[in-house]
Amino acid sequence: MSKPVVAIVGRPNVGKSTLFNVLAGENISIVKDTPGVTRDRIYAEVTWLDKSFTMIDTGGIEPDSNDIILSQMREQAQIAIDTADVIVFLVDVRQGMVDADAKVADMLRRSTKPVVLVVNKVDSFEKFMMDVYEFYNLGIGEPIPVSASSRLGLGDMLDEIVKHFPEHAGEDEEDEIPKIAVVGKPNVGKSSLINKLVGEERVIVSDIAGTTRDAIDTKVKWQGREYVFIDTAGLRRKGKIKEEIERYSVIRTVTAVERANVVVIMIDGVEGVTEQDAKIAGIAHEKGKGVIIAVNKWDAVEKNDKTIYRYTDKIRNTLAYMPYAELIFISAKTGLRLQRLFETIDMVVENQTLRIQTGVLNEILTEAMAMQQPPSDRGKRLKIFYMTQVSVRPPTFVIFVNDKELMHFSYTRYLENRIREAFGFRGTPLKFIVRERG
Ligand code: GDP
Ligand code: GDP
């Protein structure tokens, strides 16, 4: 169910961004029309043959002195070791093997994570192959020559990457314990929540099936049912540079969200919702996960009978791209509404995997079309033949039409609203794919 994570590590200027952009193609992660949501090209979804994975670029800013470069590379490599299933170590055939490469290679080798050594800027295989072999000396396996900018060798590289994926990655896991990622800015109360939930019996699960990551997962039993909480809180890295810290926290959030069924986005009730919260929430939205917005520290908020409505309005406005998200006001400190939190988690988990029969779905469709005619353009009217649900997590529907061009997003949204009225689906986004029937 969770996609493998591949991280690219390498010195400045070896071509990390170029490779990242080529592989990501159109899929660079940007939430369109969502103000405040991250536009940094830090992660992207990549599909190769029948496999897909999340790629992260661990490279941050580019300092100019050599010892800073080495310490930065170590930092990057550590992030990759902590978070990735496969590490791509990118070097540059034109610069040749340098000391920093050897040091980082040592570090990667000791980590026991699979490493794919990729030699970039091999724009001509004839001219540069002898130089490529030099990189055998790094002791991390066979160097794969590519040219990111001319798109050479990428297929062989991808074959090698996907070979190292955990066996069942990307498939539905057998064990059905819900996995919940708790994300949010520093100091919103993530650790406090998890500590409160586990009380004395904190169990650290170090080996979740299908992942090789050093997970900080906590198993919680609540009224006889089990849940795994994925914690990003204890994983703060002491970087010196603000951009680095932010990049690290984005990567952490992405990988935690990737593995979760439901994401609890924590907001500091005392501070109110901020743009930073919107960025973090955007990650959960893009990944199609179930979402619960938990406004924490509710015990410390001065309230009157309008406070909760004021908060609700402000949050719905700031996070307008996720109207489906459940909203709940809690206190990790006093335990306020933690019972509700679990009930909400159960509901969202169920809604993420809800399947609607095609017959029932099409009754709703017919009714919806009768109430509001499909749009037309230059004399041609949209015809919707039928609709069927093709998958869950998130629930995904294919709509068969006469002409895709005529399917305006506002009509898709209208249909979504009708479906939600009929079946709920609270807490989960819905995905629609429009197809022309041949
Ligand atoms: P990063 O700092 O590792 O992210 O490196 P960039 O992706 O910014 O690339 C650094 C420079 O190398 C840029 O000028 C790229 O155009 C160039 N470059 C990247 N890939 C190739 C390649 O395959 N061949 C050649 N000749 N140049 C490349
Ligand atoms: P994290 O960085 O998100 O893990 O946040 P922490 O769990 O470390 O909490 C940050 C601070 O907020 C600590 O001083 C907590 O005691 C405080 N805090 C956490 N939850 C609550 C709450 O529900 N109410 C109040 N009043 N304080 C809280």
| Ligand 2 surroundings by CB, under 6 angstroms | 184, 186-192, 233, 296-297, 299-300, 331-333
Does 303 have pLDDT greater than 90? yes
Q: How far is the CA of 199 from the centre of ligand 2 (A)?
A: 15
- Report the alpha-carbon distance of residue 51 to residue 298 in Å, rounded: 43
- CB–CB of 406/382 below 8 Å? yes
- Report the alpha-carbon distance of residue 128 to residue 215 in Å, rounded: 41
Q: Is 185 in the pocket of ligand 1 (CB under 6 A)?
A: no
CA 284 to chain centre: 6
Q: How far is the CA of 49 from the centre of ligand 1 (A)?
A: 26
The pLDDT score that the predictor gives to residue 83 is 76
Please state the φ and ψ torsions of residue 218, each to the nearest 5 degrees. Answer: -125, 125
Does 242 have pLDDT greater than 80? no
Does 58 have pLDDT greater than 70? yes
Nearest ligand, CA of residue 232?
2
The pLDDT score that the predictor gives to residue 281 is 93
The pLDDT score that the predictor gives to residue 317 is 95
Would you place residue 296 in the very low, low, confident or very high pLDDT band (cuts 50, 70, 90)?
very high
Q: How far is the CA of 231 from the centre of ligand 2 (A)?
A: 14
Q: How far is the CA of 194 from the centre of ligand 1 (A)?
A: 43
- Atom index in ligand 2 nearest the CA of residue 296 equals 23
- CB–CB of 179/261 below 8 Å? yes
Q: Is 18 in the pocket of ligand 1 (CB under 6 A)?
A: yes
Q: How far is the CA of 241 from the centre of ligand 1 (A)?
A: 24
* Half-sphere exposure of residue 228: CA atoms within 13 angstroms, side-chain side: 20
- Report the alpha-carbon distance of residue 268 to residue 311 in Å, rounded: 11
Average pLDDT over residues 92-97: 93
* CB atoms inside a 10 Å sphere around CB 47: 12
ipTM over 0.95: no
Would you place residue 39 in the very low, low, confident or very high pLDDT band (cuts 50, 70, 90)?
very low
What does the angle CA 149 – CA 52 – CA 388 come to, to the nearest 5 degrees? 125
First to last CA, the chain: 32
Q: How far is the CA of 127 from the centre of ligand 2 (A)?
A: 59
Average pLDDT over residues 304-323: 95
Give the C-alpha distances (Å, rounded to integers) separating 131 from 138, 143, 332: 13, 10, 58
Please state the φ and ψ torsions of residue 410, each to the nearest 5 degrees. Answer: -70, -30
Does 298 have pLDDT greater than 60? yes
Does 10 have pLDDT greater than 80? yes
Does 378 have pLDDT greater than 60? yes
The pLDDT score that the predictor gives to residue 42 is 72
Does 207 have pLDDT greater than 50? no
Average pLDDT over residues 46-56: 86
- Atom index in ligand 2 nearest the CA of residue 336 equals 23
Q: Is 69 in the pocket of ligand 1 (CB under 6 A)?
A: no
The pLDDT score that the predictor gives to residue 415 is 97
Does 69 have pLDDT greater than 70? yes
> What whole-number percentage of the chain has pLDDT above 90?
52
pLDDT mean across residues, the chain = 85
Q: How far is the CA of 148 from the centre of ligand 1 (A)?
A: 7
Q: Using only C-alpha atoms, what is the Rg of the chain?
A: 24
- Report the alpha-carbon distance of residue 281 to residue 253 in Å, rounded: 10
For ligand 2, atom 25, name the residue with the nearest CA: 297
Q: Is 16 in the pocket of ligand 1 (CB under 6 A)?
A: yes
In this prediction the pTM is 0.73
DSSP secondary structure string, 84-103? Answer: -SEEEEEEETTT---HHHHH
- CB–CB of 94/121 below 8 Å? yes
- Atom index in ligand 1 nearest the CA of residue 62 equals 2
Instruction: Provide the pairing of β-strand 431-436 with 51-57.
Output: unpaired
